[in-house]
A and B are shown apart, each in its own frame.
Chain A
Amino acid sequence: MPFQYLDELAEGFLTTLSLTLLSAVGALVIGTVLAAMRVSPVPVLRAVGTTYVQLVRNTPLPVLAVLFALGLPVLGPSFGFFTWAVLALAVYTGAFVCEALRSGINAVGVGQGEAARAIGLGFGQTMRLVVLPQAFRTVVPPLGNVLIALTKNTAVAATISVADITLRSNALITSSADPLGVIGASALAYLVITLPLGLAVDRLEGRVAVVR
């Protein structure tokens, strides 16, 4: 029976999928706010944004995950390990989303911002109505990269006791006599998420591309 463990892997697949979706939403929100901070006219906000990106982007994700799951509870907050995993992934990926987005913002012509201010828009309105919509369009491919990386990075949750694809396959490798089958099946399970994601990004890119 080569596929007797598919049930267990399917449960792991659902966990990985929800890890990916929740932390992707979190990362996009965090990244957008950070990017706005990094291009804002307020020096303090710029400094905070830069510090965040440099600190988080340069910390290995497995270290961050354990720091969140076992370190932060020492200071008080208590969540389940799934929540800690989502938080760690969102915080980590947010830094990369920010940088991708910032490159998009920098690609929007200076004249756009000047024109927005000339008609009386404030910083928030300029960003929301003029700059960000154009920025998002140019950064669809790099953001797609970040999200695909995020999907694979969710495997780090296995080190903090979240029963995702990786943790389930680790257990199955010891208990089933078919290690290669288990590893192959879990690789396929990740592809089921990442391949459609990649295709969706490609289609989106074609539809929103700025024709210049």
Chain B
Amino acid sequence: MRRTRTARLALLGLTTALALSACGSDDEGGSAAPAPEQTTFEAGTTMAAIQERGTIRIGVKYDQPLFGERQLSGDVEGLDVEMGKIIAAKLGLAEDDIEFVEAVSRNREPFLQQGQVDLVIATYTINDTRKEVVDFAGPYYITGQSLLVAADDDSIGGKEDLAGKTVCSVTGSTPLERIKTEAPQATVIEFDTYGRCAQAVLNDQADAVTTDEAILLGLLLGAEEDFKVVGEQFSEEPYGIGLKKGDQAFRDFLNDTIEASYEDGSYQEALEATVGQVQDELPEGPPVDRY
């Protein structure tokens, strides 16, 4: 009896050791992520502080397909996540050194103000109200309000065709208010998620879903047979990288990093791997706004 237990313990020890060594060798292997660069930064800057700490905390969305979506494996994927990886690499950090934290629209400003994250890259539209409390680098992607309709519906080619149609958006959102003035002849219905709006279109209870095209593209992912995005965008939403207000050196570094990623192709690669899944013609990186 006792001997068996000892044998089991030994076996357990052996397995643990093997598992640990396996982990070790995995780390050596590395991944396809941009290779960390060895740059040194002036002491006292946020960049030097992050490098010193050895980790960077980035707030991303967990529920926004193509931009920041948490997979069943626990990994977060999307363009925002890829931008975070590009920045971390510039700081000399490996992919494993990035700590992604879930940011929802309401907690993005407090996260930055309280220093709970270093950056927020979470489909974060740059606007004047927000500029008063946080700083923005970028934009790195520009989207705008657009329409999602059933794939076989040719009667809607843009917001001009919405008279007499039913349009769906999310309760309390800006796109919902905007569509009421942009298409006053349309009937507007509302749910609390865009997924439910998409279901209403499938059921013929609504003719179109309207919100930022970036979000519509996310709805399109995996449902390319059912839906299509139509018409010109009728608003402009530049997505930026949020950082704590007043950190000019860090902001310059981020803007430089975004520009460098346009030039060395890593931005296009990131765009291809994410938004490229549902869109053939990908936009150029928008010029950064050093306001």
Q: Tell me, in angstroms, the Cα distance from A170 to B203 when the chains sit together.
A: 25
Interface residues of B in 170-212 (CB under 8 A from A): 171-172, 177, 189-192, 196, 199-200, 202-205
| Given A73-B203, A78-B204: A175 and B190 interface contact (C-beta under 8 Å) | no
> Contact: A159 with B192, CB < 8 Å?
yes
A171 CB, min distance to chain B CBs, angstroms = 7
> Contact: B172 with A170, CB < 8 Å?
yes
Q: Which residue in A66, A70, A73, A174 is a CB contact (below 8 Å) of B177?
A: A174
Q: Mark B141-181, 1 if CB is under 8 A from A, else 0.
A: 00000000000000000000000000010011000010000
| Given A160-B191, A175-B177: A170 and B200 interface contact (C-beta under 8 Å) | no
> Contact: B189 with A173, CB < 8 Å?
no
Q: Mark B59-76, 1 if CB is under 8 A from A, else 0.
A: 000000000000000000
Number of A positions contacting B (CB below 8 A): 16
Chain B residues lying within 8 Å of A175, measured Cβ to Cβ, are 177
SS class, residues of chain A in contact with chain B: helix
A7 CB, min distance to chain B CBs, angstroms = 17
Chain B residues lying within 8 Å of A159, measured Cβ to Cβ, are 191-192
Interface residues of A in 147-174 (CB under 8 A from B): 158-161, 167, 170-171, 173-174
| Given A70-B196, A74-B203: A171 and B172 interface contact (C-beta under 8 Å) | yes
Q: Mark B262-284, 1 if CB is under 8 A from A, else 0.
A: 00000000000000000000000
Chain A residues lying within 8 Å of B204, measured Cβ to Cβ, are 73, 78
Q: Tell me, in angstroms, the Cα distance from A66 to B204 when the chains sit together.
A: 15
Chain A residues lying within 8 Å of B205, measured Cβ to Cβ, are 70, 73, 78, 81
Chain A residues lying within 8 Å of B203, measured Cβ to Cβ, are 70, 73-74, 78
A-B contact pairs, 20 of them (CB 8 A): A70-B196, A70-B199, A70-B200, A73-B204, A73-B205, A74-B202, A74-B203, A78-B203, A78-B205, A81-B189, A81-B205, A159-B192, A161-B189, A161-B191, A167-B171, A170-B171, A171-B171, A174-B172, A174-B177, A175-B177
Which residues of B are interface residues toward A (Cβ below 8 A)?
168, 171-172, 177, 189-192, 196, 199-200, 202-205
Which residues of A are interface residues toward B (Cβ below 8 A)?
66, 70, 73-74, 78, 81, 158-161, 167, 170-171, 173-175
